Amino acid sequence: MQPKKHYLSGTFRGFRTFRGIVAVGSLPGQQDAIDRFWNERVESQKGCDLTTEELFGAYAQFCVRHGLPAYPEGEFQGLLPDQIRERFGVNKLHSILRDQKARRRFANIRLRAEPPGTGSAP
């Protein structure tokens, strides 16, 4: 049996598991938190898009509200393309303007509204 191969993406090291891409050295619960975020807050929606910054902001807020351990922004950004591709079948694009600046985005996904009374207020 061969060991799992690691990959290097920028400065981020991770490995592929049955649950997708996982950061090497991630804290207990971080992968569960990001899985829960994808399942509860992000959905496919034709004609919508989200920037990488919007996704991280929503993820960080989700983790705070639910008392979950979050990946740091750099690690989250490293996980983002593979996890979005695996879950929603879309790739990162470089073709959107927000606040007069070009931003990286993912097309055809959007944030679901968080149900009222979920978690504790930040």
- Asked if 88 and 58 count as a contact pair (C-beta separation under 8 A), the reply is no
What is the count of structural domains for the chain?
1
Q: What CATH number does the domain containing 105 carry?
A: 1.10.10.10
- Domain carrying residue 65: 27-111
The answer to pTM > 0.75 is: no
Question: Who wins on pLDDT, 32 or 25?
Answer: 32
Mean pLDDT score of the chain: 77
Let me know if residue 3 belongs to a domain: no
Coarse DSSP helix, strand, coil percentages of the chain, rounded to the nearest 5 percent: 35, 35, 30
Q: Which of 25-34, 56-65, 81-90, 99-108 has the lowest mean pLDDT?
A: 25-34
